[in-house]
C-alpha cells in the first residue's frame, strides 16, 4: 500500500483523537477494498479504504469529516448494536483480536452492508461535525465528502452512501449542524 495514504490517515486520526469522547481511542485501519467505504466496527475499529482516501485525500477537511462521522458511530457503539445477532460479528471481532486486519476488514466490508437507521445517522452527523470542528477541521468537510461520493460512477461503488443513507431531511439537519460549528469557529 502507498505509504502516503496511511500517512494521510494517521495525520487526521491524530487530530481527531484529541476531540473524540471515547476510551480506548478508535483505531483506524486502511483496507484495500474495491469500494469507496469507511466503516466502524465493534471494538472501536474504523476501517477506511485506500480508494476512499485517494478520492477525498486532496481535501483533508472532507476526509476528516467522514472519519469523524465514523468516530461518532464508535462513541455510540452503533456497529455493535447493529450487528448483535448478525452472524459473523464474533468471527470479525476474533479476527481483529488475532491481528488479521486485512481479513477482518474484508469481512467487515461485507457485514457493513447493514444500513444504519436514520436516528443513528442524524446523531452521528451532529457529533461527527463537533469532532471534526474541535479538531480544527472545516465542519463543511462532511458535506463535501457526501457530494464527492454522490458523483462516483457507478454509484454502487460509493458503499458508504448505502450504509449511511442520505435523504433530504438528513442533509438539511447536517447543514444546520455545519452552520452552528462554522459560526463557532469564526468566533474563535
Binding site for Zn ion (CB under 5 A): 116, 121, 124, 164
Kindly tell me which of 12 and 38 has the beta carbon lying closer to Zn ion.
38
Total residue length of the chain: 188
Minimum separation from the CB atom of position 163 to Zn ion (A): 7
Cβ-closest position to Zn ion: 164
Kindly tell me which of 137 and 160 has the beta carbon lying closer to Zn ion.
160
Minimum separation from the CB atom of position 165 to Zn ion (A): 9
Instruction: State the Cα–Cα distance between residues 27 and 71, nearest whole angstrom.
Output: 10
Kindly tell me which of 84 and 186 has the beta carbon lying closer to Zn ion.
84
Do 121 and 168 meet the contact criterion of CB atoms below 8 Å apart? Answer: no
CA dihedral 154, 157, 162, 166 (to 10 degrees): -60
Minimum separation from the CB atom of position 93 to Zn ion (A): 20
Kindly tell me which of 4 and 165 has the beta carbon lying closer to Zn ion.
165
Instruction: State the Cα–Cα distance between residues 6 and 34, nearest whole angstrom.
Output: 17
Minimum separation from the CB atom of position 43 to Zn ion (A): 17
Relative to beta strand 45-49, strand 27-31 is parallel
Amino acid at each position: 500500500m502507498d505509504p502516503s495514504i496511511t500517512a494521510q490517515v494517521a495525520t487526521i486520526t491524530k487530530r481527531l483523537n484529541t476531540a473524540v469522547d471515547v476510551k480506548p481511542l478508535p483505531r483506524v485501519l486502511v483496507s484495500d477494498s474495491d469500494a469507496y467505504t469507511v466503516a466502524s466496527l465493534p471494538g472501536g475499529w474504523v476501517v477506511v479504504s485506500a480508494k476512499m482516501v485517494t478520492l477525498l485525500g486532496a481535501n483533508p477537511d472532507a476526509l476528516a469529516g467522514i472519519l469523524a462521522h465514523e468516530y461518532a458511530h464508535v462513541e455510540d457503539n452503533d456497529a455493535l448494536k447493529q450487528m448483535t445477532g448478525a452472524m459473523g460479528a464474533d468471527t470479525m471481532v476474533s479476527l481483529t483480536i488475532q491481528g488479521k486486519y486485512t481479513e477482518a476488514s474484508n469481512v467487515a466490508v461485507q457485514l457493513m452492508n447493514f444500513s444504519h437507521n436514520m436516528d443513528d445517522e442524524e446523531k452521528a452527523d451532529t457529533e461527527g461535525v463537533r469532532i471534526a470542528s474541535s479538531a480544527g477541521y472545516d465542519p463543511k468537510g462532511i458535506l463535501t465528502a457526501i457530494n464527492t461520493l454522490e458523483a462516483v460512477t457507478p454509484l454502487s461503488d460509493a458503499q458508504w452512501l448505502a450504509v449511511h443513507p442520505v435523504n433530504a431531511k438528513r442533509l438539511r439537519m447536517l447543514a444546520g449542524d455545519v452552520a452552528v460549528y462554522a459560526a463557532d469557529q469564526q468566533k474563535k
